[in-house]
Amino acid sequence: MNDLYPLTFHPILKERLWGGIKLGAQLNKPISSDITGESWELSGVEGDVSVVSNGSLKGTSLNTLIKSRANELLGASVVDRFGKEFPILIKFIDAKQDLSIQLHPNDALAKERHNSFGKTEMWYIMDAEKDANLIVGFNQPVSREEYVQSLENNTLLEYMNYEKVKSGDTFFINTGKIHAIGAGVLLAEIQQTSDVTYRVYDFNRRDKEGNLRELHTELALEAIDFDQKDDFKVSYENKKDTVNPMVSCPYFNTNFLHLERDLIQDTTDRDSFTIYMCVEGEVEVGNEHGDTRVQKGETVLLPASSKMIALKTAGCKLLEITL
């Protein structure tokens, strides 16, 4: 029997050296630390698997649901590609301080080294303090030798491309691209299910035990894209009360919905789960088996078996994610 209603999950909160309090103050997360950097909203990562927080399935883990009802929940085509693993990881991130400068390996390298997916990701800026920025890519062509020398000479920052950001800005970070989230940025992140990160520079910071954090200099050398590319800023329309495409890649598709009235979508032929991240306002999200209300900073998962999705709102902004 198919009775899969819109599912919400308990957030998995992560302390980070660079974290702050905005996940609690702005997104109403139950933080217990003033260095809370991440809220994992939907995760199938071993050791950090999301658990349903609403309805008759409350207390059930995401992976348990997938094992018993994979095609209904994920979609047959998703199961064909990824098996019974949830293929993406959904987060909110609060950077009180700069994150380390880092990059992620592609699928082939991640599989070979870590038996993991690679990590392609995108960011939607929800809030940015004055003069907040991101590091995305190089500001000039850089050879492998110049890059290595810059690490040895502590001059890497001279080669970094800084992007000043504001609310609504969106960035696509493909594998191999060097990057860092800057201080004062609150964002929504959509990524492949992977926790593989190669940290290459950390501003010589020390953790709470006084130790320098581990760098992955050698691992990163084979994974990094040294080309200077202007391919990361996402341009998208902001038409109200419709679906605005943002990012389409092999690992996820993301649309932007700026709704001022109700919207009903026929999803009979959508052979994929649908996720909504509410980045402003609130909305009642329903399918033929029930509905649930989500507000700014909350995330909801609708099963692939949904024949329709009803979004009832007086005003909200949503990121819609499918495969």
Q: What is the pLDDT of residues 9-63, one digit of tens each?
A: 999 999 999 999 999 999 999 999 999 999 999 999 999 999 999 999 999 999 9
Alpha-carbon gap, residue 107 to 116, rounded angstroms = 7
In this structure, the number of other CB atoms found within 10 A of the CB of residue 201 comes to 20
Lowest-confidence segment of 36-40, 195-199, 302-306 by average pLDDT: 195-199
Around 297, how many Cα atoms within 13 Å sit in the side-chain half-sphere? 18
Give the residue from 188, 220, 198, 141 showing the smallest Cα distance to 26: 188
Q: Which amino acid is at 185?
A: V
Task: Look up 199 and say whether it is catalytic.
Answer: yes
Q: At residue 193, does pLDDT exceed 70?
A: yes
Say if strands 48-49 and 12-20 run parallel, antiparallel, or are unpaired: unpaired
The average pLDDT across 119-123 equals 95
Please report the domains of the chain, with CATH numbers, ordered by start residue: 12-221 (2.60.120.10), 244-322 (2.60.120.10)
For residue 207, what pLDDT is reported? 79
Q: At residue 290, does pLDDT exceed 90?
A: yes
pLDDT in tens, 146-176: 999 999 999 999 999 999 999 999 999 999 9
Residue % of the chain over a pLDDT of 90:
90
Contact indicator for 322, 262 with CB cutoff of 8 Å? no
Alpha-carbon gap, residue 241 to 316, rounded angstroms = 10
Q: At residue 209, does pLDDT exceed 80?
A: yes
Query: Which residue of the set 16, 113, 199, 213 is catalytic?
Result: 199
pLDDT in tens, 232-268: 999 999 999 999 999 999 999 999 999 999 999 999 9
Read off φ and ψ for residue 163, nearest 5 degrees.
Answer: -120, 115
pLDDT band for position 195 (50/70/90)? confident
For residue 32, what pLDDT is reported? 96
Torsion sign across C-alpha atoms 157, 124, 118, 12: positive
Mapped onto helix, strand or coil, the DSSP state of residue 156 is helix
Q: What is the pTM of this model?
A: 0.95
Rounded-to-10 torsion of CA 293, 297, 300, 301: 170
For residue 2, what pLDDT is reported? 65
Lowest-confidence segment of 23-32, 38-47, 122-131, 200-209 by average pLDDT: 200-209
